[in-house]
Copies of this chain bind each other. A is one copy, B any other.
């Protein structure tokens, strides 16, 4: 698929020397982007949810901080600086309890958490990656793989530019 942007990873890597983009945590945040897990993100409002089948096979909630939720509701694109989107994914598992009650296999619920992914908007700091910095967290700790982080922006670059490279749409 055609890349819409030619993003410089050398420039992006230089960003790792800057302070963390969001919140605080007792680690160094994500490689390349320096994104940390914001305190209280689990209290953020719901943007939407999804089931990703296939190899991921997860069920996920997408939450946003106030700036992100307001932008989704108002249709503001690109997102303002400070918008943070948190994607919380869990194993997609049948609810044996519900299925026993209802007498059929119909209910699928979140199992063990897999990871939390963050998208942090800062058009200046992250200019070389479409204005977004990324992070992935497992058990509250940033995944320290730079190779993993290098996959974020190229994938999001495949989302429509008119959506500011965000896959999720707001669910009313």
> Measuring CB to CB, which residues of chain A are less than 8 angstroms from any residue of chain B?
1, 42-46, 48-54, 56, 59, 61, 63, 88, 90, 92, 95, 97-98, 101, 104-110, 113, 158-160, 167, 169, 171-172
Contacts and interface: CB of A to CB of B under 8 A. Distances in A.
Contact of A45 (B45, B52, B54, B110): B45
A89 B95 CA distance: 17
Contact of A108 (B53, B101, B107, B110): B53
Given A46-B63, A61-B171, 4 more contacts: A51-B107, A52-B106, A101-B158, A109-B169
B49 A110 contact: yes
A49 B99 CA distance: 16
Contact of A59 (B46, B49, B53): B49
By CB atoms of chain B within 10 A, which of A43, A107, A109, A167 has the most? Answer: A109
Contact of A110 (B48, B52, B97): B48
Nearest to A109: B50
Contact of A61 (B61, B104, B167): B61
A51 B53 CA distance: 12
